[in-house]
Structure 1
Amino acid sequence: MKKVLLKGILCCALGVVSSGYAQKKETPKYITNVEGVKEYSLNNGLKVLLISDASQSNMVVNIIYNVGSRNEGYGEKGMAHLLEHMLFKSTKNLGDIKKMLSDKGGNANGTTWLDRTNYYEVFPSNDENLKWSLEMEADRMVNSTILQTDLDKEFSVVRNEFEIGENNPDGVLQERIVSTAYLWHNYGNSTIGSKEDIERVKANTLRVFYERYYQPDNATLVIAGKFDEQKALEYIGQYFSVIPKPKRVLDKTYTLEPAQDGEKFVELKRAGDSKNVGALYHTAPYADKDYAAIDALTEILTADPSGYLYKTLVEARKVSSIYSWQPTVRDASFVYFGVAVPNDKDIKETENIVRAELDKIPTTKYTDEDVARAKAKIIKQIESIKNNTISYAINLTEIIGAGDYRLGFIYRDAVEKLTKEDIQRVAEKYFRSNNRTVGIFIPSKEEQRLKSVEITDEQITALTKDYKGKALEKETAAFESSIKNLKQNLVEGKLSNGVKYGLVKKEIKGGKVQASFKFPVSNEKELAGKTNTGGILAQLLKTGTKTRTKEQIQDRLDQLKSSVNFGFSGQTLSVNISTYKESFKEVMDILNDLLVNSTFPENELTKTITEYNTYLESNLNDPQTVAFTELSRQITKYDKSSIFYTPTIQEQIDAFKKIKQTEIVDFYKNILGGNNGVGSVVGDLDAKSTVEILEKTFGKWNSKSKYELAKPSYFETKVLDKDFITPDKENAVALGRISFKMTRTSADYPAFVMANEILGSGGFLSARIPMRLREKEGISYGAGSFIDVPITSDVASWSYYAFLNPAKKNAVETATKEEISKALKDGFTADELKSNLISWQNQRKTRLGSDETLMNLVNTYLQYGIPLEDYDVLETKVKALKVEEVNAALKKYLSLDKMTSVYAGDFNKK
């Protein structure tokens, strides 16, 4: 239903507060508790939300400022986003923010959008991390340095971020349509702003913007996860309450978009490899009663497979895909429909077909079944987010930006109460041709024009102040994020056909249950030439069985607030499940039906291939896709039928076109099976009944093909620097790789892990390569390195990457190789090893707090026999390393004389 506007939400790719304050320290005042969200406030205007969840082993600190591109004035376009970047530089009291974040480890980021800017840190739960996060956020709220020297470097980084978005045809078209649809309101402006404004603004001007909006009375602080509430309140009082309430009064924005008086049209002609159609309708603010009904209507229109537009456009093969979304915003919002068009379709003819189908929205008679289906899907999404406390706290950013955190509950309540009359009303009110884009004036004597809905702050206050919410959910039990605790709560066993399972007893908020299964199948000989068949099959497993239609499958999963997703890669079918304790048995019954009774309708196969190929066509000249594809092709020399062969993008397109339904059915009946599989389930489930359910689901599902693990061949890399020209693309990619032999049990593995951390992977953009390319020289938006040391073979590699402006290719190439050469010649320092070790440990601790990591560890143990203790053993070995060992490992495996590099971009552009 919703899709993030490309270049809309922008991310930073990512002491003690001044004693000069005269403000007296105070304890936050308790306001209310709405469904587990405890609200407090300070006299300086800061709002505080605490969301406790003992089942988490992590916590998040998220601070939201009510400033985004909506607040930018003349000459300030992009200033909110640029300021977000600058707040990761330094503060007067604490110094280098990025270095501190790097040393601390964990996950951190900042994002900017239409109504708000936020900064968050996710760390393992402990008092020290909580205290530091609050101290840091309080310091950079009012003490950021915003130096001209830092700003000069950051210009090219933001410009590079802008250029990455310019490479996406659908995103650029969407941006143009939005800007055309809004005549006066700032929602028509891209959050990333004008390159001219960004590159001309001075640090003192940016500081004025910062001092105006970055104040406690314009911020909401959210702390969520596992933490000590009393200490959190104490730290908030210590660091935030001493910041004085500003004397300035923030002027409220008051621009109201006038009623549109005719269809508008924008035609965008520029380089690209895909055809797209988009349409926008002005709608209502998030706080308005119509917003929920409009959301449900867009679900009714575009859902796969039940959507009205989906059936008439995608299912009828007139387009390859359609999506819709409605931003969560403070003022009058919009609904955007995005349509991907196959290259063999006439774009003008398709545009008219799409417009004709859109015209039917106000006159279509919607049913109770439509409404129930949409409500189930939306409520499932709401519950899924709410029961992941860390994600929920970050997701609150949008809702707070739209006016008040309680609006999210009010929205949910509105969804639950929706009727078909509500859907019919908003369809007729908002979805008129004179309320969408097309650019031609049509006189009309009796034109019914829609005026933008305006919601005042006072109305939002009245709407939310007495809201109590539903009954509080029971507190979840604590679960320590450690291997020892994982083992203590793990029950493992084997089903009758050999499937190995691991059950992790862990209470998840809302009674949620997560499951992950891996089913390796067949052998390299029998899978030859069938890689694409397996991939398409996985996407078709939910398109219908002997007993259920695609629509019935999706509807029931939505009603159960559950999801089942498949993927096939190499020789493994992956199955991921998200459900709830009370629904687990039924969801597994549905899964069994999909695994043994799927029918693979011909029309679904055709639609899926069309959608895949439309996507691939749009990436024929995408620098990132080209770079990764061609690097692999330059290094490996497999036969085309091998499961390890890397095809060109065009070869993939051609191969998909040749897949027949009979091949899908043959793969399904003879290749797929569970008898060599493994799986893990995380949740508060009874072990005995869960095993019975797993036995019923997988116990008789066996493959007719003999399983043998396929292993890749070793190809030694050689010196190569090769350009691939992608015409008229604003961004470019540099990518390099060195191959070598290593396993995870190799004596050098721990040392090489840390060598990679220091060189390009570790910290918060503070490793040598990103520090040089982004922080020091500002020639790349994102740069770094990664290693691939597989579990089942010794074919390993080290790779670096950088995103850049094509004109900076030589500078990026030189800087990257200089940093590698310098590391090989002089080595790393003991201080570098020490700081990166702390960051690396904290990152691992953070990852161990996620259910996905727990399932991956258990599955790896079950499939390959790698003890769970190895997770801790690696850390013990790394902690014992000396810098001389790290330097020796680096020199042993890395050499510029063996590095293959490719560069994809428009390097001919002057």
Structure 2
Amino acid sequence: MTMPLMSRLFRAAPLALAMLLPFPGSAAPPPAWQLEAEAGGFSSYRLANGFKIILAPFPAAATARIELLVKVGSKQEGYGESGMAHLLEHMLFKSAGRRADLKSELTALGATWNGTTTAERTNYFETVVGDPDTIDEAIRIEADRFIRPTFTRAHLVSEMTVVRNELERKDNDPNSLVIRALQRQSYFWHGYGRSTIGARSDIEEAPFAALQAFHQRHYRPDNAALIVSGKFDSQRVLKLAGRLFAAARLPATPRPATWTREEARAVTNRSELFLAAGKVIGAAAWKLPGMNERETLAVDLASTALCAESWGSLRRALVLEQRLAIGVSCGVQAQPDYSLLLASASAGQAADAEALSRALLEHVERFAQSGISAEQLERARRNELNAFERLGSAHESFAARLSQAEVAGDWRLFFRQRDIVADLTLEEANQALKKWLIGINRSDVLLRHAEGATPPTMPKAEPLAALLAGRDWAAIAASADPLPTSLDELAAQVVAIPLDGQRARAELIARRTQGNLAWVSIANDYGNAAALSTRQTSCALASSLMAYGGGGLDREALAGRLEALQARGSIGLGGISLEAPRANIEAGLDLLLAAWKTPLLPVGEFERLKAARLAGLEAALKDPAQLAGNAVARRFDNYPADHPFRPRSLAQARADVEAVDIAEIRRCIADFSGISQIRLAVVGDFSRTDVEAMWARLVELPPARQPYERIRDIGAPTGVDDRPVSVARADRPNADVQGIALLRITEDDPDFPALRIAVRLLGGDTDSRIRTRLREREGLAYSAGAALAGSNFEPRSRLSISTSVASSNAENALAMLKEELARALAGGFSEAEVTRAKSLWKQERSKSLTAENGLVRQLSQGMYSGRDYAWLARFDRQIEQLGAAAVTEALRKYLADTSIVWSTGKGL
């Protein structure tokens, strides 16, 4: 929605932050710090001004993550300040010191960056390559962000509308609305009852001076920390960060404190929401103590037997047995002061919402009273401890957990939580379930009166010193082989292993990985155009159903066996993927191959999958953005009537799903589930003999009945109807605006590298023209950009230009997208723009080499398309040789005379 600029409140003026700067003429404080704590091979230090530095080195990593943590969120917001912590997060990506745009500065470093706000904290973080100079610059950026921000009233005018657009997107999401309602009902007084996004009135009308005051009150050195994880020189980082952040002046006033507590009340709260969402939802929340309390950890662990997707009783009861729901969600939302156990169930729009909610509540509270078994507790404990162990090879995720613990009082609480999970008893778990999961400690759809009920009383938090006294933890990070530094180096490491002519081939990257994990991908290319022409829908459902058990094991048992092996696997008509510790790969592969050979295909799960697919299509038929997108796709239909790739209307898609029965599912499995054409990709500590042994297991499977032949696509059409598409529906505050074109080019075309860079400059990164115009300058859009999806074989690449804005701004946004495209076509790109784009491309490619879990996917894709690591290296050399003239010419060649279909899906 549009709004007045309110120049009275938003006159441009830089933010003055004298509170955080040294007094003029005074010398900066010496870079003095004291060791505060050590645990698990990590350490924390405290500066004289109270600022904390937490160092978590992972020597085997290839990247470093730098996080500025400020302990302020929606909990600390006062009257009229709702959403201010989140709004301030957006503002602190603007200018700082001599830096005109922090987002551009971070992007120029090749960083993957973001910022998030919760009830308890705001954090700013980026991941960069483990280069000392790059890490230094990232720390300098964070120091400038913290100490010398210079956001202005003009910045607020622009960014306020972006945040409001984000609010409108959430207001149109039924799941977000339900969760926020549960939070409001669960807390009478505490700040957790407020949404982080804030009230529309506060976002739109908060004075700039109020934002300044909020910043000065909370962004102070004794309320913040720097967390660095991954590959870095600890002494170098400590010396630099200590010197930089020591310049933050500690105010004379004490740090703002919070003291509001919730009173124990014998209540069940209810509210009802109404939205044209295409489905109904029943949800409930049970209040728990804070995340440091042993009882909360007990409920969290025990509730796995209720909530687990593969073996939890909630899904089994409501989805499979009672068939009241098509989906459930369940889990503990843990926070420092209080926590919630959240549970929800969803069904189609014609379902009985009262019956759905009643069944959900009865099952959860009956589960709590009955308790869990020793076997269930040990399974849940094993899964949680496996998850802790996996963090040892994922420093970014580990750092996020340390940050969460630091907000709760001390980063070492993470290790304490792990210890509690390891030694919780069955009696503790079941007592905690019975104490907290009761009807008078709940928020859902009904307020009940209960005479004489005594609700549980929240305990007072123990002193942190008592929680951590006398504890120590072993080092976490493990060693691994050095990561590749270039695509050419990676290409040289690939070992091609012929297996059975065109029927099967394999590629191996042999290396000792972080955490000694290994990855296996068995891609089974199946079917042909004639065999799949009318069976795409049924065989897609059949492929999904294969994940629900086989080899004599149902889904729950199969998941349990994989969990015991610390393995993650997937299975379908298209093959198998597996991740596990190297020692467990063979056992995990045997489980998945047995399931692939004899899938269970349970009828109940089929009916649930079908119902969920239909519910999604029903919702799509009410969504103007999806209706518009579907209409655009059909504008490019130049396929024969029986071609498998021919686009279908949403109504046709719904009819296709309705027509599928279990007999057709079984026919798909019979025709396509055997071996057709195998691409075996393996990454980890393997030998050539190990890979050949995997093939020996595979070759025992029967061949597919239907032969494989690649389905040939059709080249991009000409003479497309490019009249604009517009779809409007009531009660949709947000609009999706996009332009789609199909281009007669493949990724192997000599022009493709230049076209790739042209689209990137147009809208492919944070400094691109479209994003800069719509988000940064105009403040209209939360998201805006352009993307190019290259085709593998036939010339049918897809260009999309899109943005998401308030419905009232849809026409303005569409005009701006067209203007930016026209400007690029007319004026082209500068050498400076192209140089920047090439530099970022190189940095992103370098960073991608450090993601070991992505290597197996690229191996498999390369065997299919021919675009292996050697091809990628050649492609990058072509990128490096590009100049502005070639990039501009590619854009003009493929877009100047190409039909673009523009569409708008919005609210009335």
Counterpart AA for 1:494: P
Question: Larger deviation: 687-696 or 719-728?
Answer: 687-696
Residue 382 of structure 1 corresponds to 388
Counterpart AA for 1:411: Q
Residue 425 of structure 2 corresponds to 419
Query: 2:487 aligned to 453, 472, 483, which one?
Result: 483
Counterpart CA distance in 2 for 1:180 and 1:276 is 16
Query: 1:518 aligned to 518, 523, 531, which one?
Result: 523
Residue 79 of structure 2 corresponds to 74
The verdict on how the C-alpha distance between 1:814 and 1:465 changes in structure 2, with shifts beyond 3 A counting, is farther
Question: Larger deviation: 439-448 or 726-735?
Answer: 439-448
The verdict on how the C-alpha distance between 1:263 and 1:734 changes in structure 2, with shifts beyond 3 A counting, is same
Q: Secondary structure at the match of 1:91?
A: coil
**1:270-419 paired onto structure 2 within 5 Å:** 270-316=275-321, 317-419=323-425
**1:672-711 paired onto structure 2 within 5 Å:** 672-697=673-698, 700=701, 702-711=703-712
Counterpart CA distance in 1 for 2:307 and 2:713 is 42
Residue 254 of structure 1 corresponds to 259
**1:692-841 paired onto structure 2 within 5 Å:** 692-697=693-698, 700=701, 702-713=703-714, 714-716=716-718, 717-762=720-765, 765-841=766-842
* Conservation of the 8 A alpha-carbon contact between 2:266 and 2:440: yes
Counterpart CA distance in 2 for 1:654 and 1:418 is 51
1:462 to 2:466 alignment: yes
The verdict on how the C-alpha distance between 1:100 and 1:530 changes in structure 2, with shifts beyond 3 A counting, is same
Question: Larger deviation: 70-79 or 223-232?
Answer: 223-232
Query: 1:499 aligned to 467, 479, 504, which one?
Result: 504
The verdict on how the C-alpha distance between 1:499 and 1:238 changes in structure 2, with shifts beyond 3 A counting, is farther
Residue 8 of structure 1 corresponds to none
Counterpart CA distance in 1 for 2:534 and 2:202 is 53
Residue 655 of structure 1 corresponds to 656
Over aligned residue pairs, what C-alpha RMSD do you find?
Answer: 2.3
Displacement of 1:852 in angstroms is 4.1
Counterpart CA distance in 1 for 2:461 and 2:534 is 59
* Conservation of the 8 A alpha-carbon contact between 2:551 and 2:595: no
The verdict on how the C-alpha distance between 1:554 and 1:203 changes in structure 2, with shifts beyond 3 A counting, is same
Counterpart CA distance in 1 for 2:392 and 2:399 is 9
Counterpart AA for 1:480: P
* Conservation of the 8 A alpha-carbon contact between 1:122 and 1:846: no
Counterpart CA distance in 1 for 2:466 and 2:242 is 28
Query: 1:42 aligned to 40, 47, 51, which one?
Result: 47
Q: Secondary structure at the match of 1:237?
A: helix
Counterpart AA for 2:479: E
Figure out how many residues of one structure are paired with residues of the other and give that number: 883
Question: Larger deviation: 299-308 or 790-799?
Answer: 299-308
Displacement of 1:130 in angstroms is 0.3
Residue 612 of structure 1 corresponds to 613
Q: Secondary structure at the match of 2:867?
A: coil
Displacement of 1:270 in angstroms is 2.7
Displacement of 1:560 in angstroms is 1.9
Counterpart CA distance in 2 for 1:285 and 1:18 is 36
The verdict on how the C-alpha distance between 1:460 and 1:509 changes in structure 2, with shifts beyond 3 A counting, is farther
Counterpart CA distance in 1 for 2:572 and 2:736 is 27
* Conservation of the 8 A alpha-carbon contact between 1:758 and 1:833: yes
The verdict on how the C-alpha distance between 1:560 and 1:220 changes in structure 2, with shifts beyond 3 A counting, is farther
* Conservation of the 8 A alpha-carbon contact between 2:58 and 2:231: yes
Once the two structures are superposed, what CA deviation does each residue of 1:651-693 show, in whole Å capped at 9, x if it has no partner?
Answer: 3333223222222222223213344122322223444334423
Displacement of 1:697 in angstroms is 4.1
Q: Secondary structure at the match of 1:843?
A: helix
Whose RCO is larger (CA < 8 A, sep 6+)? Answer: 1
Once the two structures are superposed, what CA deviation does each residue of 1:546-587 show, in whole Å capped at 9, x if it has no partner?
Answer: 42122211111122221112466xxxx153322112211111
**1:456-605 paired onto structure 2 within 5 Å:** 459-470=463-474, 472=476, 474-496=478-500, 498-566=503-571, 573=574, 575-605=576-606
The verdict on how the C-alpha distance between 1:576 and 1:55 changes in structure 2, with shifts beyond 3 A counting, is farther
Residue 137 of structure 1 corresponds to 142
The verdict on how the C-alpha distance between 1:697 and 1:466 changes in structure 2, with shifts beyond 3 A counting, is farther
Counterpart CA distance in 1 for 2:642 and 2:414 is 51
Q: Secondary structure at the match of 1:105?
A: coil
TM-score (norm 2): 0.93
1:120 to 2:164 alignment: no
Residue 270 of structure 2 corresponds to 265
Counterpart AA for 2:338: A
The verdict on how the C-alpha distance between 1:440 and 1:692 changes in structure 2, with shifts beyond 3 A counting, is closer
Once the two structures are superposed, what CA deviation does each residue of 1:169-228 show, in whole Å capped at 9, x if it has no partner?
Answer: 122122112212211111111100011111112222212211222233222222222223
* Conservation of the 8 A alpha-carbon contact between 1:592 and 1:698: no
Counterpart CA distance in 2 for 1:56 and 1:552 is 35
Which consecutive residues of structure 1, in runs of 5 or more, have no partner in the other structure? 1-16
Counterpart CA distance in 2 for 1:402 and 1:418 is 21
Counterpart CA distance in 2 for 1:176 and 1:98 is 34
Which consecutive residues of structure 2, in runs of 5 or more, have no partner in the other structure? 1-19
Residue 233 of structure 2 corresponds to 228
**1:14-25 paired onto structure 2 within 5 Å:** 22-25=27-30
Counterpart AA for 2:223: N
Counterpart AA for 1:372: E
Counterpart AA for 1:57: A
Displacement of 1:623 in angstroms is 4.4
Counterpart CA distance in 1 for 2:624 and 2:110 is 31
Query: 1:99 aligned to 94, 104, 109, which one?
Result: 104
Counterpart AA for 2:409: G
* Conservation of the 8 A alpha-carbon contact between 1:546 and 1:599: yes
Question: Larger deviation: 845-854 or 282-291?
Answer: 845-854
Once the two structures are superposed, what CA deviation does each residue of 1:346-403 show, in whole Å capped at 9, x if it has no partner?
Answer: 2222222223223313321421122122223333333334422223223433333333
Q: Secondary structure at the match of 1:526?
A: helix
* Conservation of the 8 A alpha-carbon contact between 1:18 and 1:93: no
**1:664-675 paired onto structure 2 within 5 Å:** 664-675=665-676
**1:105-184 paired onto structure 2 within 5 Å:** 105-184=110-189
Counterpart CA distance in 1 for 2:165 and 2:581 is 43
Q: Secondary structure at the match of 1:174?
A: helix
Counterpart CA distance in 1 for 2:46 and 2:691 is 45
Counterpart CA distance in 2 for 1:815 and 1:225 is 41
* Conservation of the 8 A alpha-carbon contact between 1:737 and 1:798: yes
* Conservation of the 8 A alpha-carbon contact between 2:597 and 2:674: no
Q: Secondary structure at the match of 1:784?
A: strand
Once the two structures are superposed, what CA deviation does each residue of 1:858-878 show, in whole Å capped at 9, x if it has no partner?
Answer: 223322333422222222222
Once the two structures are superposed, what CA deviation does each residue of 1:869-902 show, in whole Å capped at 9, x if it has no partner?
Answer: 2222222222221211111111111137611011
Residue 14 of structure 1 corresponds to none
Q: Identity of paired residues, percent?
A: 24
* Conservation of the 8 A alpha-carbon contact between 1:621 and 1:727: no
Query: 1:244 aligned to 240, 249, 266, which one?
Result: 249
Counterpart CA distance in 1 for 2:832 and 2:734 is 35
Displacement of 1:701 in angstroms is 5.1
* Conservation of the 8 A alpha-carbon contact between 1:111 and 1:118: yes
Counterpart CA distance in 1 for 2:482 and 2:601 is 44
